[in-house]
Amino acid sequence: MTGSAEDSARVYQSSGDQFITEHHHHGSEPVEARASRFAGDRASWPDSVRRPAIGRTPVVLRDRSDVLARLRQGIATGRGGAVYVLHGMGGCGKTAVAHDVFRIAIREFDRVGLWVNAADRASLRAGMLAVAADRGAGDGELQAARHGYRPAADLVWDRLDQSPEPWLLVLDNADDPAILRDGSWLRESPGGIVVVTTRRAAARWWPGAQLQHIGVLPQDAAAQVLCDLAPHSGTLEQAARIAERLGRLPLALTLAGGFLAQQVIDPWTLDTYGRHLDEGARVDLIDQGADGLTGDDPRHLVGRTWQLTLDSFEANGLPEAVVLLRLLARLAPEPLPLSVLGRPEIGAVLPPARAEAALTALLDHSLAQLVDLGVRCVHGHGVLLDSVATATPAEDVPVLDTTAVHLLDASVPAQPDAGPYDPRLRLLAPHVLALLRQPGAPEHGTAGSGRTAATTADVLAVATRLAVALHRTGDYLSAWETAGAAATLAEGTLGPEHRGVLAARSRTGRSLFRLGRYDEAEALLRRTRDTQQRLLGATHPDTLDSCHALQLVLGNHGKRDEAIRLLRSTIAARRQVLGPGHPATLRSRASMLTLLTGPELAAEEGGSLLELAEDCVRHLGPEHTVTLTARHNRARALFVLGRPTGADEEIRQVIGLYEQRFGPDHPTVLAARQLRAQTAAALGDRGTGVAIMADVTARREQNLGSDHHFTTVSRALLEALRDGSWQPPLPAGP
Which comes out higher in pLDDT, residue 362 or 578?
A: 578
Q: What is the pLDDT of residue 237?
A: 93
**183 in Cβ contact with 125 (< 8 Å):** yes
Q: Which of 629, 733, 643 is nearest to 679 (CA)?
A: 643
The conformation of residue 426, written as its DSSP 8-state character, comes to: H
Q: Cα–Cα distance between 212 and 82 in angstroms, integer?
A: 13
Does the pLDDT of residue 219 top 60, yes or no? yes
Q: Cα–Cα distance between 372 and 378 in angstroms, integer?
A: 9
Does the pLDDT of residue 89 top 90, yes or no? no
Beta bridge partners of 372: 376
**250 in Cβ contact with 225 (< 8 Å):** yes
Does the pLDDT of residue 617 top 90, yes or no? yes
pLDDT (mean) for 432-454: 61
62-88 pLDDT per residue, tens: 778 888 999 999 898 877 889 999 988
Q: What is the pLDDT of residue 447?
A: 38
Q: What is the pLDDT of residue 733?
A: 54
Which comes out higher in pLDDT, residue 555 or 139?
A: 555
Which comes out higher in pLDDT, residue 420 or 565?
A: 565
Does the pLDDT of residue 39 top 80, yes or no? no
Does the pLDDT of residue 443 top 80, yes or no? no
pLDDT (mean) for 107-129: 91
Report the DSSP pairing between strands 192-198 and 369-372: unpaired
pLDDT (mean) for 426-453: 68
Does the pLDDT of residue 595 top 50, yes or no? yes
Which comes out higher in pLDDT, residue 43 or 424?
A: 424
Single pTM value for the model? 0.77
Return the amino acid letter for 733.
Answer: G
pLDDT (mean) for 312-322: 85
pLDDT (mean) for 534-549: 97
Does the pLDDT of residue 291 top 80, yes or no? no
pLDDT (mean) for 241-269: 81
pLDDT (mean) for 384-391: 82
Report the DSSP pairing between strands 369-372 and 83-87: unpaired
pLDDT (mean) for 288-311: 52
Q: What is the pLDDT of residue 31?
A: 32
Q: What is the pLDDT of residue 632?
A: 96
pLDDT (mean) for 664-692: 93
The conformation of residue 115, written as its DSSP 8-state character, comes to: E
For the beta carbon of residue 18, count every other beta carbon within 10 angstroms. Answer: 29
Confidence class for position 385, pLDDT limits 50, 70, 90? confident
Provide the mean pLDDT of the chain: 84
550-563 pLDDT per residue, tens: 999 999 888 999 99
pLDDT (mean) for 617-640: 94
**696 in Cβ contact with 714 (< 8 Å):** yes
Q: What is the pLDDT of residue 279?
A: 64
Q: What is the pLDDT of residue 454?
A: 84
Does the pLDDT of residue 488 top 80, yes or no? yes
1-35 pLDDT per residue, tens: 344 344 434 443 433 333 333 333 333 333 333 33
Q: Which of 143, 144, 148, 152 is nearest to 116 (CA)?
A: 152
Q: What is the pLDDT of residue 704?
A: 75
3-state secondary structure labels for all residues of 230-299: CCCCCCHHHHHHHHHHCCCCHHHHHHHHHHHHHCCCCCCCHHHHHHHHHHCCCCCCCCCCCCCCCCCCCC
Q: Cα–Cα distance between 116 and 135 in angstroms, integer?
A: 14
According to DSSP H, which parts of 449-517 are helical?
A: 451-472, 476-494, 499-514
Q: Give the range among 153-157, 404-408, 470-474 with minimum mean pLDDT.
A: 470-474
